[in-house]
């Protein structure tokens, strides 16, 4: 364990050495690019839009948002830290323990340790009983991480309990020694009734409404329903090996720590994300800006007030540059009375859902520098989302996974869409 100041960890991207993070204090570390990266990518966005390739080391304040964004948050982070006898403030130490398998194509490893090659690492099959045990034990062992020698070492951002696994040939497996995971299982522990059906429904509505979304389905483990989520930052090469696709969330891309993910706390706003997409000048910039604003509308209509900066991401696809990643984590929070109603990102200066009307969307369009005509577009799309919600409610009933929460979501959508369509 490297607790001393000056200790280093190597940062790899797609298996290639990219740079080094160096400990500067108990909870501070800085990042610098390797000479090879400077030779090939000077000034380019390779790792993060917030960390373009430059010869000077990035100060800890500039380094932390991207790398802290690779780690879990809240109680999940605290529990993982306890299992490794680390302080939860020790981001450097947690990256040392967990960095072999992260979001995107990043690996953070101790000196002398190489990332697993394509097809490398090990996969441990899980029986139905073992899978059930793992799911039920997530509050004590978040992400399925195991601090014992040879145990599971991986990381993923967020607050929610989830198992990070690989799924092959109809079987769930645990990734070991840097093997890539391919899916998440998000169980319904009962804190929010029918949370799995809620997210599954919202994701399907967004997809039917025309947005790219992560692939999901509802499955039953031994005792708990789970949402299966296929990772969009994983793909297959010509030899059918799982390979990592680089990605970063909007907080990482804008240099915002996870704790500041809400706009009211200094986190990303709709305008800031639109400006970032313009600044990146990606091949799909116009479509991505359009889809992002549409995604904000869909989250509003479905009652998701928790659509913050970490719930939108950039995907760095080979040969295509950065583009908006498929949507994920769409959950109607409006159906749960104990959840804060205030929206994570304001629309036209309004973060109270009841105050968001066509005028607010018009102001947002002005703030983003859009041309005229957004009001008719918002009307049409609001009607489309409501139709999608009503169609998926019928489909959920036919397929046997309908829950009362779905009716509540449709009611929320109908009220908010009506406000825009008839406004």
* Separation of alpha carbons 195 and 413, rounded Å: 17
Q: Is 306 a catalytic residue?
A: yes
- CA 105, chain centre distance (Å): 14
The C-alpha atoms of residue 15 and residue 52 are separated, in whole angstroms, by: 19
In which region does residue 3 sit, left (phi positive, over 0), alpha (psi from -120 to 50) or beta (all else)? alpha
Pairing of strands 106-109, 321-324: unpaired
Instruction: Count the neighbouring beta carbons within 10 Å of the beta carbon of residue 56.
Output: 7
**Active-site annotation holder among 90, 249, 291, 306:** 306
Instruction: Using DSSP, state whether 368 is helix, strand or coil.
Output: helix
CA distance readout (Å), 134 to 126, 222, 296, 298 = 9, 11, 34, 34
Beta pairing class for 8-13 and 106-109: antiparallel
**Largest distance between two CA atoms of the chain:** 64
Segment holding 174, helix H or strand E: strand 171-176
Are 32 and 3 in contact, with CB atoms under 8 Å apart? Answer: no
Asked whether 76 and 138 are in contact (CB, 8 A), the reply is no
SS3 of 9-20:
EEEEECCEEEEE
Q: Inter-axis angle of helices 195-208 and 404-421, to 10 degrees?
A: 40
Q: Which residue bears the tokens 């499955």?
A: 219
Rounded Cα distance, 388 and 410, in Å: 10
CA distances from 380 to 125, 240, 347, 376 (A): 48, 42, 18, 6
Active site residues: 306
């Amino acid at each position: 364990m490297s607790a001393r100041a000056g200790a280093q960890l190597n940062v790899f991207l797609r298996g290639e050495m990219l740079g080094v993070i160096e400990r500067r204090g108990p909870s501070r570390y800085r990042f610098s690019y390797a000479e090879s990266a400077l030779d090939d990518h000077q000034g380019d966005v390779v790792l993060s839009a917030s960390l373009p390739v430059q010869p000077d080391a990035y100060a800890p304040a500039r380094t932390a948002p991207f790398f802290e964004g690779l780690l879990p948050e809240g109680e999940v982070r605290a529990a993982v830290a306890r299992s490794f006898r680390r302080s939860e403030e020790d981001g450097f130490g947690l990256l040392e323990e967990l960095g072999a398998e992260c979001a995107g194509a990043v690996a953070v490893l101790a000196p002398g340790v190489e990332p697993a090659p394509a097809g490398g690492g090990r996969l441990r099959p899980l029986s139905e009983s073992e899978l059930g045990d793992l799911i039920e034990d997530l509050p004590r062992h978040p992400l399925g991480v195991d601090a014992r020698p040879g145990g599971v070492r991986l990381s993923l951002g967020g607050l929610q309990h989830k198992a990070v696994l690989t799924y092959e040939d109809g079987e769930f497996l645990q990734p070991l020694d840097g093997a890539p995971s391919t899916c998440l299982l998000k169980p319904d522990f009962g804190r929010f009734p029918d949370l799995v059906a809620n997210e599954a429904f919202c994701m399907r509505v967004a997809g039917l409404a025309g947005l790219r979304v992560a692939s999901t389905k509802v499955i039953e483990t031994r005792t708990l329903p789970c949402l299966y989520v296929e990772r969009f930052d994983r793909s297959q090469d010509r030899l059918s090996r799982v390979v990592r696709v680089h990605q970063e969330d909007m907080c990482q891309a804008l240099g915002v720590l996870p704790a500041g993910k809400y706009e009211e706390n200094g986190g990303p706003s709709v305008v800031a994300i639109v400006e970032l997409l313009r600044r990146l000048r990606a091949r799909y910039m116009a479509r991505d800006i359009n889809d992002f604003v549409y995604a904000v509308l869909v989250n509003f209509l479905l009652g998701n007030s928790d659509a913050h900066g970490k719930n939108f991401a950039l995907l760095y696809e080979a040969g295509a540059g950065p583009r908006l990643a498929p949507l994920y984590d769409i959950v109607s929070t409006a159906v749960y009375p104990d959840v804060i109603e205030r929206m994570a990102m304001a629309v036209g200066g309004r973060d109270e859902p009841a105050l968001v009307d066509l005028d607010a969307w018009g102001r947002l369009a002005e703030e983003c520098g859009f041309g005229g005509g957004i009001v008719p577009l918002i009307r049409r799309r609001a009607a489309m989302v409501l139709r999608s919600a009503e169609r998926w409610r019928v489909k959920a009933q036919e397929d046997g996974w309908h829950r009362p929460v779905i009716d509540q979501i449709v009611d929320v959508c109908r009220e908010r869409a009506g406000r825009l369509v008839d406004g």
